[in-house]
Chains A and B, each alone.
Chain A
Amino acid sequence: MSFISNYIYYIGAFGLIFIGLYIVLVKRNLIKVIIGLSILDTGINLFLISIGYIRRGTAPIFSKINIEIARMVDPVPQALVLTAIVIGVAVLALALSLAIRLYQHYGTLNLRKIKDQRW
């Protein structure tokens, strides 16, 4: 039981990652694949943040002049996640614009049917 409570954040993050990967690999509709990419990004960000956690930690902000330093969590993963979220949003925006143009050309979003490029 303590194993679960210790690793619950990792299990949750990787659960999201694998759900996202499964959606991207299996689903046919392009919009669902894009949503899968978004879930994958969310899972990865959750995983990155949970690496930096300290037991009973608090935010690394000096809101009062004398605050306990030893219990502050690691600030580096938070900086990494800031960047990763923005990059995820950028890819998502580009993917959605491509989906709009793809629908205008083909009339369908079914990836199995969009196979103009032959061998």
Chain B
Amino acid sequence: MKEGFFLNQLTGLNDTGLGTIVWLIWLALMMLFLFYPTMSQRIQLGYMLRDLERKLARLKLVKDEVRDRTIDAIKRIGKPEKDPTQDIDRLMEFFVIEPESMDPYGIVYKLEHILETGESKFEEEVRKLSPAAEEYKVKTLANLVEVARTTNYLYRIVRHYYLLGKRTSNIYLILQLQMLMPQLMEMTEALRLASYAFAYGQPIGDGIGVLAVAKLAYGKEKARYEIAKDTTVSEIEFENRRVLIVRATGPGGTVGRPGEGVKKLIEREGDNVKLIITIDAGLRLEGDESGKMVEGVGVAIGGPGIDKYKIEEIAKERQIPLYAFVIYESIVEAITPMREAIAKAADTVVEKVKSVLLEKVPAGSTAIVAGIGNTVGIG
């Protein structure tokens, strides 16, 4: 028999120098994986950490870009006496602590108080930094600082889990973070575009509810007054029906207090209110068309739930039906400059609201139509 016959039978290779070398390398790798089983996991961890590092770098870039845009906007609009950079950095770390929920009774009003305190403090700080800005521009700048605060928070959270996973070599932690990264990156990019909208006072997708009711009221107002902080009521007459239109006071960036506004109106009007309609932007599912209007029942309001609670409470007490119209849009479209499809949906909503008022509200009675959303860029 040929020398090396059995060795060739074992390896399945002809007795060439290259074949032997390849076989030896293969054997060495096998032995390595046999005696060091976590090596593949470490390789995968290293790969995921490098991917996260690139994304974290992008998050930092966006955070710094939004911060710089905020500082420029405050300097341009507010004309502060001293450099606002340090104050902006301080505001970017501003926090609000939620109330204790162990005993949930009364938590809505506790949360309302805390959020109102936080909001007024935040606005006051921005107002101090922008002495030359008009009141409505202070509100828009406060929204811009809020965007900067959110991008900073997103960056810090991702950095925290990245460094923690790296330090402890915890592949499961890194895996969970990596699974969430596409959504977090999308959110960050949306916030970057939102910073443009608030820096220049452009309407955003979330303002579609306000835009719709503003179109309903335009040219027909019999009276206009403030019912709650940053919240306006426009009284119109429609086909012998009195319609009270509640919305945030524009053109500054604010959502107002529509819940408080609706509650005060009902307390004032008594049993004459026969219907409450709320109009808001709603998150669409993937595959849904942006700008599509859908109708339903309930209170279409986002946020922490305070306004929604107040409207539901008083509607239940007075047995007033609640109708809702929602305009589909993505989370990106909600906070970025308003798109054409969404802007054009306002006209569809107005026609639909008119038909519902004719159908459901008897002549001589009153209906409340609340346009929910951020009113930046909408007067």
Q: Do A and B come from one complex?
A: no
Residues of B within 8 A of A (CB): none
Residues of A within 8 A of B (CB): none
